[in-house]
Structure 1
Amino acid sequence: MKLNPTLYSNLFLVFLLLITSCKDETKQTKKDIATADPFAQADSIIRSIKVPTFPDKTFDITDFGAINDGETNSTEAFKKAIEACNQAGGGKVLVPSGTFLTGPIHLLDNVNLHLSEGSEILFSTNKSEYLPVVHTSYEGVELMNYSPLVYAYQKKNIALTGRGTLNGQANETNWWPWCGAERYGHKKGEAQQRDDHNLPRLRKMNEEAVPYQDRVFGEGHQLRPAFFQPFGCENVLVQGVTFTNAPFWVMHPIKSTNVTVDGVIVSSHGPNNDGCDPEYSKNVHIKNCVFDTGDDCIAIKSGRNDEGRRVNIPSENIVVEDCRMKDGHGGVVMGSEISAGVRNVFVRNCRMDSPELDRAIRIKTNTLRGGFVENVFVKNIQVGQVKEAVLKINTYYGIYDNQEGEHIPTIQNIHLENVTVAKGGKYGILVQGREERPVKNITLKNVEIKGAETPILVENSEPIQFENVTINGQSMK
């Protein structure tokens, strides 16, 4: 067969054009990625979040028998008002000015529990009121345990709003001693959470994949409940209220979607008093809040060890903005219960400042937790003072408690921009990756850190990319 020279030449020209086109397209794609504003994605996430709205109907708890003397138990009044609101198609359950004592509050679909200015809800110190046990979670492991103080299970369109205060009444004689620490009221010989029938038993059930229905704790056990926990919920709003004296984690949206936390004040310095812990949750917007806590201000989680890998729901699309972080182990933290992974976290326009704030941005995991953290963007952050580090990435968290396994964590794409630090701590930047899987793609741009004892310590990481970064007045290259 004889080839036509003209046809052959034309085919070759077409081939060259295709190659050139592909190269140009690849070049353009790389350029788009390099110049793209990641916070445009944050804005898109915010727009996608459905914030609940409610019919214009009001159900005053005093009309259902609540007494505002701070002594009369109004649990039934709260329950009846919430049920009436739900049955009427939704609306506002009003807590008027005054002090109301109650047991746990369980929200239903389309209910906005609204605390008027000057109102305070005191939660009972009688632990039997938090029974029967409900499906909940403790440090990344699901179980049947005491009810959270405010709880919603697989509900839609719920809210906790207003200018009032929720007082968990946890202190050195109520809930806190169960943590086992003397400074929180624990006395030697008394039962506490590390006893064999508590956390060790729950950890073993996790390893053995015991169904959560058979992990029954509650009475006779010492595992503290969360304060506010929407479990498996859609369209959740927490706005304006103040939380204080929490037994355990303060706000814990778990397996929930479309969560807005706006203008909330957390002032609670007990053990494990994290401010807000989204877990297995998607599309979360935390804004205009003040966190003054006994543990992490915000801690993004996704299950502990085998449990997290079984559930396999990453926490993702989380935007934190215009917040103030005071005391706490960390400002915005990912981990340590992180086995299903965390992605797409955006932090902007926040102020973090306290001699009791340990770190500004923190990632903590180990080889039992494993998991991944990717696509973390931090911008326009003012840090007054931190004790340990501005950025800390630790893949050896808890190793002195024998927390080593075979699940090497993956950490990549961590970006800080426009960050100023008036007084650093022990380190400016502290990164401790794993030799088997080094941390990848950390960039710092327009960052100034003053007063750090050790400017930078990096182990098992790709070289950090610096652009206009100074630590203790020294330009970083």
Structure 2
Amino acid sequence: MKKIFFSALICFVTLTVFGQQKIWTSSKQPLQEVEALKKLIKAPTFRNKDYTITDFGAKDGGVFKNTDAIRQAIEKCNSEGGGRVIVPRGVYLTGAIYLKSNVNLHVSEGATLLFSRDSSDYPIVFTRWEGMECMNYSSFIYAYEEENIAITGKGLLDGNADMDNWWYWCGARHYGWNENRPGEQKPARAKLHKQMADEVNPRQRVYGDGHFLRPNFVQPYLCKNVWIADVKLINAPMWNLHPVLCENVLVERVKIVTLGPNNDGLNPEACKNVWIRDCYFDTGDDCIAIKSGRDQDGRNIGRPAENHIIENCMFKEGHGGVVIGSEIGGGARNIYALNNTMDSKELDRALRIKTSSSRGGVIENVFFYKTKVGQYKEAAVRFNMFYEKPGNHVPTIRNIWVEKLDVTHGGKYAVLSAAYESSPVTNFTMIDCKINGVKEPYKVDHLKNVTLKNVKINGKSYSSFD
């Protein structure tokens, strides 16, 4: 027992010494931190009891609405101590699903959960929309303050969104919007920004019908012990996997293929102890975007994104592969991306850190290790402190370590940076990196304490960005 206690204590101390700036001197240190963190993140276990939704009246075929049958199965499972709620082979149309503690929603191979296109099937709940707290449509699968929850199985989650359903709400012309058709989210988005700036009580920021703020696909909120494994997600209305303020999150072997507007793949927001492994992303926005709240909401709540591992994943189309921001007002620290592969002519960046002086916050301790990239469009490494509007909260970006980055055919730049002179990107290290096929080696400003060792861009060695 003492040995277990002291082992856990060592892990805790290793991962929570944040009072002073951390500076790595070799990859050995962050690799040790990764191994310590892995010991803290575990999938929840469930009682050995199955509840099949067809036993509660669910019907295959994609026409009958199975919302009540699925709800009854989940409630029965939860009330009896937990287990698996089974979606068997077939196509099951449903509205919002609320996932309760100790329930594993298991979507069997050959099964599809097809989500309704009727907004009235999604009740108003407390949620986050683009990093802002409000009352809006429930995500398609939602949980609030639950523990030990899971979505597993080799089945399909189909958000059923397209240019005529959900996507046109964003107002983008190439997604079906026109001046004679309702579906413009901009007025509601601007109103929510103003309410956030005025620090209106989030439960009085009420949206829903007539406001066109699209729901997220999956959003566990303030939950502990979250496990998502093996499922495939397509046709999301907006962000796909969006855990908020959660702790102990494991996402593994998930495949996300959806190219609609703001169709981010996985956005852990203000979460602690997150492990993403063996996943596939082909998205209409950032593949993985780590967040911690927008502007006032992010700063006031003050919960950073911390202790995230991203490992053995494949990234195809997207605005960025591994991204931090832009809703990052609470900061981010200890982000480890290892042994990932990226390759698409429509992938804009490999590592992307985006923030602004309306956000503020500290982004630190980012370890980007053994990444193999076929091609990308803009930059392998991109720092941007001028994303969206400026404000009075200049952000900090520091201790960024990139090692063994191997790019076959790059885009415009190897490294691209836009930072404040008063807040340069500090302690940026690149080691054993080979980036070929770029138009320009770099375009940078305001970098401080840069270390380059064995860095080759288009075959030429670089020891500085002067």
Same fold (TM over 0.5): yes
Counterpart of 2:238 in structure 1 is 248
1:75 lines up with 2:61 in the alignment = no
8 Å contact 1:103–1:124 — kept in the other structure?
yes
Amino acid at match of 1:423: H
- Measured after TM superposition, the shift of residue 396 of structure 1 is 1.1
Question: Of the candidates 425, 429, 439, which is equivalent to residue 443 of structure 1?
Answer: 429
Per-residue CA deviation, residues 6-54 of structure 1 (Å, 9 max, x unaligned), is: xxxxxxxxxxxxxxxxxxxxxxxx9996574211111211110132110
**Given that residues 353 and 384 in structure 1 are in contact (C-alpha distance below 8 angstroms), is that contact kept between their aligned partners in structure 2?**
yes
User: Over aligned residues, Cα RMSD in angstroms?
Assistant: 1.3
Name the structure 2 match of 1:49.
Answer: 41
Partner residue, 1:141: 132
| CA distance, structure 1, for counterparts of residue 184 and residue 361 of structure 2 | 26
Report if the CA contact (8 A) 1:432-1:461 is conserved. no
SS of equivalent to 2:191:
helix
Contact 1:367 1:408 in 2 (8 A): yes
Write the letter of the residue equivalent to 1:216: V
Contact 2:431 / 2:455 at 8 angstroms: preserved in 1?
yes
Residue 211 of structure 2 aligns to a residue whose secondary structure is coil
1:388/1:425 contact within 8 Å kept: yes
Secondary structure at the counterpart of residue 62 of structure 2: strand
Q: Deviations over 1:419-465 (max 9, x none)?
A: 10001111111111101111100000000000110101110111521
Say whether 1:129 aligns with 2:124.
Answer: no
Which of 88, 91, 106 aligns to 2:83? It is 91
Q: What CA deviation, in whole Å up to 9, does each residue of 1:74-114 have, x standing for no partner?
A: 11100000000001100000000000000011000000000
- SS of 1:271 mapped into structure 2: coil
Query: How far apart are residue 69 of structure 1 and its match?
Result: 1.0
Amino acid at match of 1:454: E
- 2:178 corresponds to 1:187: yes
Q: CA separation of 1:31/1:126 partners in 2, compared to 1, >3 Å: closer, same or farther?
A: closer
Aligned-pair CA distance for 1:366? 1.1
Partner AA of 2:173 in structure 1? E
What secondary structure sits across from 1:48 in the alignment? coil
Residue 69 of structure 1 aligns to a residue in which SS? Answer: coil
Aligned counterparts, 1:320-469, within 5 A = 320-398=310-388, 403-469=389-455
* 1:145 Cα offset (Å): 0.4
For 2:304 and 2:184, the matched residues in 1 are separated by 27
Cα distance in 1 for residues equivalent to 2:308 and 2:180: 42
In 2, are the aligned partners of 1:147 and 1:225 still within 8 Å (CA)?
Answer: yes
Worse-matched range after superposition: 430-439 or 164-173: 430-439
Which letter maps to 1:101?
L
- TM-score, normalisation: structure 2: 0.93
State the Cα distance separating 1:118 from its structure 2 match: 0.3
The count of residues paired between Structure 1 and Structure 2 equals 442
AA partner of residue 336 (structure 2): F
Query: Structure 2 residue aligned with 1:298, among 278, 285, 288?
Result: 288
* 1:161 shift after superposition: 0.1
Answering whether residue 261 of structure 2 is matched by residue 271 of structure 1, we say: yes
Identity among equivalent positions (%) equals 48
8 Å CA contact 2:303, 2:330 repeated in 1: yes
Read off the aligned partner of 2:103 and give its amino acid letter.
V
Q: Quick check: 2:435–2:458 contact (8 Å CA) kept in 1?
A: yes
Q: In the aligned structure 2, how far is the partner of 1:455 from the partner of 1:35? A: 24
Matching residue within 186, 189, 213 for 2:203: 213
Q: Which SS does the other structure have where 1:70 is aligned?
A: coil
Matches of 1:32 and 1:476, distance apart in 2: 21
Task: Report what 1:160 is aligned to.
Answer: 151
Structure 1: which 5+ runs fail to align?
A: 1-29
Q: SS state of the match for residue 464, structure 1?
A: strand
C-alpha contact (below 8 Å) 1:374/1:413 kept by paired residues: yes
Q: Give unpaired runs (5+ residues) of structure 2.
A: 1-21
Counterparts of 1:395 and 1:118, CA distance in 2: 45
Paired with 1:341 and 1:435, the residues of 2 have a C-alpha distance of 20
For 2:142, the aligned partner's letter is Y
Look up the match of 1:19.
none
Q: Distance in 1 between matches of 2:383 and 2:48?
A: 48
- The alpha carbon displacement at 1:191 in A equals 3.5
Q: Report if aligned partners of 2:385, 2:418 keep a CA contact under 8 Å in 1.
A: yes
- Structure 1 or 2, whichever has the larger Rg, is 1
1:303-314 correspondence to structure 2 within 5 Å = 303-314=293-304
Instruction: Write the deviation string for residues 200-242 of structure 1: whole angstroms up to 9, x where unpaired.
Output: 1101110111111100001121100000000000000000000
- Note if contact 1:381-1:419 (Cα within 8 Å) is conserved in structure 2: yes
TM-score when scaled to structure 1? Answer: 0.91
Change (3 A) 1:321 1:134: same
What is the deviation of 1:369?
1.2
Shift of 1:194: 4.2
Structure 2: distance between partners of 1:254 and 1:272: 17
What's the counterpart of residue 26 of structure 1?
none
One-letter amino acid of the structure 1 residue matched with residue 349 of structure 2 = R
Q: Given that residues 141 and 304 in structure 1 are in contact (C-alpha distance below 8 angstroms), is that contact kept between their aligned partners in structure 2? A: yes
